[in-house]
Amino acid sequence: MRPRSRAAAAAVLLVALPACSVGQGPPGWVAWPEPEPVWDLPLVPGEWVELPPSPLEARGHAGTAWTGRELVIGGGHTYDPQTLGQTCGDGAQCAGPMPVPHDDAAAYDPAADSWRALPELFPVPQSIYGDPSLDVLLDAEAMTWRPEVGTPPIRTLEPGRWIGEQFVTAGWIEGPNGEQDPRKPVAVAVYDAGTGTWRTDPWPFADPHQQELISVWTGTELLLVVRAIGSGCTGGGVCRHLAAWSPDGTWRDVAEWRIAEPPPPGSVERPAEDQAPGVASQFHQLLWDGQRVVGVDASSSWHEGLEFVVLDPRDGSTSPLTTLGEQLGGYPRVLLHGQDLLVVDGPRVAVFGSDDGRWRALPPLPAQRPSNGRAVGLAGDVLVVWGGMADDHPPGSVDEARGWRFGL
């Protein structure tokens, strides 16, 4: 059974860039190399410790939320190979196995190194598959599931967040042709738990012909970076527009960034020499560490490394923070441990120390496979990795039900 969503549609926080072949595109555009199996970084002392068996069945893409005492892991999905070739929702045959959602959850106590089962989640919306956080579903302080918010009045690809008694999510207003309509005005949708109603605060600036959108809550404002093509861009180039939304419904225009030439089809953009000095416009993730906004910059493919900058929300200017120059595999996860950065890439984890400005690597995870869809969360000063699923589910592949912890 697939009920209506209880939360806004969730985002895959790290956006997959299109692959390219060797030699495709002009100079400045590159193919993705295969990553090295081990990062050439100094090792952090310590070792991974396997977790005790959890009450959860094997799965991938489970969500996590830290309550201050326990790490909640729940939701996620597996694939049912029996659905291969069956009729999908659009009447065509399914190109691959269909996902089977899980609605159960469990809490891991790092101090006691023990699990406890939790009451079932309400049926988890399918959109939660791409969301690495259960914060939108769990009231961590009260340790209760959030109220149902229903389907937001906008289409959204980000998980949203609770701000007091309001649930806030960003996305775009659908045109008369739905997803096929090229004009998708950006908007913020707000659900008031007290009245049980939604309101929509439309983007008040030039229509950006939005292609992707990411946001971060700073404690006072919701910062939105919108990737746009065409409207407001010189020479038909690709633009990024940064604006801030406040809970009273007002907007603040921050900055617009331009690139003179869009990428050729199938290519991946290198750092753009023609973009505005001091401005990084290829963010694919924004993080708030309690003091500053950290942007993960994909101006070069993350297969070649990641660049991190500090973004000033007042004017959109950036200052370099650090670069992880190691080759990455596919969909790295970036987390904050205080002001330290953690990059989880399959079985590999790199840590950037804010105190000394150096990158180090954790020992590789004992289980190299499966590497897709692992639940990753911080339980205080303990990094927890649990579950996962095979990349393509060949015959005989098995989802993972084990987990590991590493003390930071």
DSSP 277-301: TT----EEEEEE-SS-EEEEE-SS-
What gap in Å lies between CA 240 and CA 225, rounded to an integer?
6
Q: Are 238 and 227 in contact (CB under 8 A)?
A: yes
pLDDT of 128 over the 50 cut: no
pLDDT of 152 over the 80 cut: yes
Domain termination site, one of 328, 363, 395: 328
What percentage of residues in the chain have a pLDDT greater than 70? 64
- Do residues 323 and 256 share a domain? yes
- Do residues 346 and 261 share a domain? no
Mean pLDDT of the 149-171 span: 85
Is residue 358 one of the residues assigned to a domain?
Answer: yes
Is residue 211 one of the residues assigned to a domain?
Answer: yes
Mean pLDDT of the 281-293 span: 84
pLDDT of 118 over the 50 cut: yes
Is residue 141 one of the residues assigned to a domain?
Answer: no
One-letter amino acid of 196: G
And the tokens for 367?
């289980």
Q: How confident is the model at residue 240 (pLDDT cuts 50, 70, 90)?
A: confident
Q: Are 283 and 240 in contact (CB under 8 A)?
A: yes
Cβ of 179: how many Cβ atoms within 10 Å? 8
Mean pLDDT of the 33-57 span: 82
Is residue 354 one of the residues assigned to a domain?
Answer: yes
Instruction: Provide the edge-to-edge strand list for the sheet that holds 358-361.
Output: 333-337, 340-345, 348-353, 358-361
Is residue 4 one of the residues assigned to a domain?
Answer: no
Domain termination site, one of 307, 328, 349: 328
pLDDT at 138: 80
What gap in Å lies between CA 73 and CA 220, rounded to an integer?
28
- Do residues 65 and 183 share a domain? no
- Do residues 154 and 293 share a domain? yes
Residue the block writes with tokens 């065509």 = 92
Is residue 293 one of the residues assigned to a domain?
Answer: yes
Grouping H, G, I as helix, E, B as strand and the rest as coil, residue 234 is: helix
- Do residues 243 and 185 share a domain? yes
Rounded mean pLDDT of the chain? Answer: 75
- Do residues 159 and 286 share a domain? yes
| 264 Cα distance to chain centroid | 25
Domain termination site, one of 305, 328, 351: 328
Q: How confident is the model at residue 171 (pLDDT cuts 50, 70, 90)?
A: confident
Kindly report, residue by residue over 62-103, the tens digit of the pLDDT.
Answer: 889 999 999 999 888 887 766 666 666 556 666 666 777 888
What gap in Å lies between CA 141 and CA 162, rounded to an integer?
13
- Do residues 264 and 368 share a domain? no
Mean pLDDT of the 48-60 span: 94
Lowest mean pLDDT among 72-86, 145-159, 181-195, 360-374: 72-86
Is residue 14 one of the residues assigned to a domain?
Answer: no
- For residue 382, give its domain range: 44-115+338-408
Question: Which of the two residues, 190 and 266, has the higher pLDDT score?
Answer: 190
Lowest mean pLDDT among 83-97, 152-166, 303-317: 83-97
- Do residues 308 and 186 share a domain? yes
Phi, psi (rounded to 5 degrees) for 211: -110, -35
- Do residues 296 and 189 share a domain? yes
Mean pLDDT of the 133-142 span: 78
One-letter amino acid of 384: V
State which of 176-185, 201-210, 273-282, 374-383 shows the largest mean pLDDT: 374-383
The b-or-e profile of 193-212 (16+ CB within 10 A means b, else e) is: eeeeebeebebebeebbbee
Domain count, the chain: 2
Q: 56, exposed or middle or buried, with CB in 10 Å at 0-12, 13-18, 19+?
A: buried
Q: Give CA angle at 245 (10, 196), nearest 5°.
A: 60
What gap in Å lies between CA 343 and CA 123, rounded to an integer?
31
β-strand partners of 52:
none
- Do residues 261 and 347 share a domain? no
Q: Is the peptide bond before 176 cis (omega within 30 degrees of 0)?
A: no
- Do residues 209 and 292 share a domain? yes
- Do residues 315 and 361 share a domain? no
Is residue 224 one of the residues assigned to a domain?
Answer: yes
Q: How confident is the model at residue 330 (pLDDT cuts 50, 70, 90)?
A: low
